[in-house]
Amino acid sequence: MRSVTILLALSVAAVQPHDLGSPGAVIDRMDEALWPAKSVTADVSLQSSDEIGPGLDTTMKLVRAEDDSGVRTQVRVIEPAQSLGTVYEVTSAKGKPIERWVYLPEVRRLRNLIGTRRTDSFLASEFTYEDLDIAAPRESEWQSVEQVDENGRTLLRVTGKPYGPYEKVETLIDPATSLPVRVLYYDRDGQLYKEESFGEPQTVDGHTMPTRIEMDDVQTGAKSVLSLRNIRLSQPIDEKLFSESPIRARRGK
SS3 state of residue 137: coil
Confidence of residue 55 (pLDDT cuts 50, 70, 90): confident
188: left (phi over 0), alpha (psi -120 to 50) or beta: alpha
Q: Give the three-state DSSP class for 18.
A: helix
Q: Is residue 73 in a domain?
A: yes
The CATH number of the domain holding residue 38 is: 2.50.20.10
* Contact between 86 and 122 (Cβ < 8 Å): no
33 in a domain, yes or no? yes
Q: What is the pLDDT of residue 138?
A: 82
**What was the pLDDT predicted at 16?**
44
What is d(CA 240, CA 217) in angstroms, rounded to the nearest whole number? 37
- Mean pLDDT within 228-243: 95
* β-bridge partners, 87: 76, 103
* Structural domain count, the chain: 1
Answer left, alpha or beta for residue 21, where phi above 0 means left and psi between -120 and 50 means alpha. Answer: left
Note the pLDDT of residue 65: 96
Identify the CA nearest to 112 among candidates 95, 85, 88.
Answer: 88
Asked whether residue 229 is domain-assigned, the answer is yes
Any domain includes 15:
no
Is 3 inside a domain boundary? no
Q: Within a domain: residue 214? A: yes
Does residue 107 or residue 58 have the better pLDDT? 58
Give the burial string for 163-177 (b: 16+ CB within 10 Å, else e). Answer: bbebebbbbbbbeeb
Instruction: Please say whether the dihedral angle defined by the alpha carbons of residues 227, 50, 197 and 28, taken in this order, is positive or negative.
Output: positive
Residue 35 has pLDDT above 80, yes or no: yes
pTM over 0.85: yes
Q: Is the pLDDT of residue 92 over 50?
A: yes
Q: Is the peptide bond before 137 cis (omega within 30 degrees of 0)?
A: no
Q: Give me the sign of the Cα torsion angle 33, 37, 43, 48.
A: positive
pLDDT at position 253 is 59
Segments forming the whole domain that contains residue 174: 21-248
Instruction: Answer whether residue 9 is part of any domain.
Output: no
CB atoms within 10 A of CB 188: 12
